[in-house]
Amino acid sequence: MFEGKRYSDYTSNAPKFFSELVIEPLLKFRVDKIDHGRSGIYILYENGLPVYVGRTRNLQSRFRAHVTQSHNSASFALK
């Protein structure tokens, strides 16, 4: 996985990458308007507070998994 690099080579850049990530504008989306197979990082909010952050290779199917009434599909499926 690390192919010749040390774990610290990756983690030492985490603060820089996080700073870059938080300055990006948040995009609201509708699940029916997302291109199938589009990847990204997403945040689920409750009462204006972030309660879950995830990363996926397919935003459309992952979001649907979060709102499906099945405990097998996603963390927030039963919430």
Q: State the average pLDDT over residues 29-57.
A: 79
Backbone angles phi and psi of 33, in degrees to 5: -105, 0
Measured distance CA(63)–CA(68) in Å, rounded: 9
Predicted confidence (pLDDT) at residue 62 exceeds the cutoff of 60: yes
Retrieve residue 1's tokens: 């996985």
Whether the model clears a pTM of 0.75, i.e. scores above it, the answer is no
Predicted confidence (pLDDT) at residue 59 exceeds the cutoff of 70: yes
Q: Where are the domains of the chain?
A: 7-67
pLDDT score, position 17: 83
Give the E-state strand segments of the chain in sequence order.
Answer: 40-46, 49-56
Chain Cα centroid distance, residue 24: 14
21: number of Cβ within 10 Å: 9
What Rg do the C-alpha atoms of the chain give, in angstroms?
A: 15
